[in-house]
Amino acid sequence: MADRIRKINSQTGDVHAVIKTSDLLPATASLWGMAVSANGTLYATDYVNDVVYKIFEDGRLSGALVGKFNTPGDVASSGLYGSDGNTARLTVPVGICVDSSDNIYIADAGNHKVKRLSPSGRCQTLAGTGIAGDACNDNGLLAQFDAPAGICVDSAGIVYVSDNNNSKIKKIWSSGKVTSLAGGTGGGFANGNGPAALFTGPNGICINKSRKLFVVDTGNFRVRQVDEAGNVVTLAGFATGYVDGVGNVARFAETYDICIDNSGVIYVLDYGNEVIRKVLDNGKVTTLMGWKSGTVGVASCIAVDNSGFLYILEKNV
C-alpha cells in the first residue's frame, strides 16, 4: 500500500501524471492541504511532521520547504543565507495557498496564526498572536484566531481564512489589518450578512474571479457562498447524506476540502461519502469520482491548477 498524487483532467478523467509520494516522503507523512502555483509547482502541508513540502511534477521533492521534520514550534525565518524557510517552525500546518507572486500562505493551526513564506525563503507571521482567541485588529499581529483551517488569497493579495473553532470567515487585508467578514459568535446555521450568518466548523475555502468565496461548512453539511460585503447564502446542501441534485436537494457528509477552477467549477472533497463532488455556480451537485466506486483512491486533499487539472492525494492505493 502506498500514497500518491494524481493529476487528472477533470473533464475527461484522463490521468496526466502520478507522483508516488510514499517514495518521497517519510512514512509518517500526513498531508492535509495542497496548492498549485502558476508554474505547476505543488505545495503541501504535513500536519503530523509540522512541515511544508515543495513537490515538482516530475516527482522531485525539495524536502521540508518550511519547518523541520517532527519539530513543532513557532519560529520565523529571515530567509537569509539559503535558509529557505528551514529555520522556521510550524505546529500543525493545515490550509495552504499561493499567490501570483509565489508567496505561500499557511494556516498554522497549532500556533493559531497565519504565516507567509516569500520566494526568498522569509517566513513570517502575517496575523495572529499565537494565543487561541477571537479578535480583529488593525495590527494583524494583535489579532486572534482559534485553529485557522482553510485559506485562500485573491488577485489583490487579500487573504481569507476559515477560523475553524470560532466558526467565522476572517479577512487579512494587504495592510495587515484583520476583520471578520462573516460568522457570528458561537456558531450554528443561518444565512445572512456578517455576524448574522452562522457557520459550524468551516474548513476549506476558495475564491473565484469575482471575489466570491466558497466555504465547506463542515458541521452544517453545506457549501456556503460569501460575497465581498459579507452576505452569506447556501449554495448547496441541507443535511448529512449522499444525494446529487441542485441546492438544498443535495446532501454531503464530512466535507473538508474545496477548490475552484478558472471557469468557476467547484470541487468538493466529500470524505464522509468517499467521493469528490462537482458543484456549479447554480448549486447543481454531481459526483465526479470516488473511492467507493474505485475510480480514485482514498482522497485526503485536492487542488486545481490554472489549466483546470485536478490534483488528488490518494492514500493506501
From residue 217, alpha-carbon distances to 81, 187, 265, 295 in Å are: 42, 11, 18, 26
What confidence score (pLDDT) does residue 84 get? 57
Residue 62 has pLDDT above 80, yes or no: no
What confidence score (pLDDT) does residue 79 get? 56
What confidence score (pLDDT) does residue 82 get? 44
Per-residue pLDDT reduced to its tens digit, 71-114? 888 888 765 444 456 788 999 999 999 999 999 999 999 999 99
The pTM of this model reads: 0.94
Q: Would you say 207 and 154 are in contact if contact means Cβ atoms under 8 Å apart?
A: yes
What confidence score (pLDDT) does residue 202 get? 98
What confidence score (pLDDT) does residue 161 get? 98
What three-state secondary structure class fits 183? coil
What confidence score (pLDDT) does residue 78 get? 65
What confidence score (pLDDT) does residue 81 get? 42
Residue 20 has pLDDT above 50, yes or no: yes
Q: How confident is the model at residue 19 (pLDDT cuts 50, 70, 90)?
A: confident
Higher per-residue pLDDT: 274 or 173: 173
Per-residue pLDDT reduced to its tens digit, 143-156? 999 999 999 999 99
Residue 2 has pLDDT above 60, yes or no: no
pLDDT, average across residues 125-137: 97
What confidence score (pLDDT) does residue 217 get? 98
Higher per-residue pLDDT: 6 or 1: 6
pLDDT, average across residues 271-299: 85
Per-residue pLDDT reduced to its tens digit, 37-57? 988 889 999 999 999 988 887
What confidence score (pLDDT) does residue 86 get? 72
The CA distance from 112 to 307, in Å, is: 33
Compute the half-sphere exposure of residue 199: CA atoms within 13 Å on the CB side of its CA: 36
What confidence score (pLDDT) does residue 311 get? 92
Name the percent of the chain lying above pLDDT 90.
67
What three-state secondary structure class fits 229? coil
Q: How confident is the model at residue 317 (pLDDT cuts 50, 70, 90)?
A: low
What confidence score (pLDDT) does residue 36 get? 94
Q: Would you say 265 and 286 are in contact if contact means Cβ atoms under 8 Å apart?
A: no
Per-residue pLDDT reduced to its tens digit, 175-229? 999 999 999 999 999 999 999 999 999 999 999 999 999 999 999 999 999 999 9
Look-up of cell digits 517514495: 23
Q: 257: which 3 cell numbers?
A: 476540502
pLDDT, average across residues 297-310: 87
Q: How confident is the model at residue 295 (pLDDT cuts 50, 70, 90)?
A: low
Residue 272 has pLDDT above 80, yes or no: yes
The CA distance from 170 to 172, in Å, is: 7
Higher per-residue pLDDT: 136 or 64: 136
The CA distance from 170 to 11, in Å, is: 33
What confidence score (pLDDT) does residue 1 get? 37
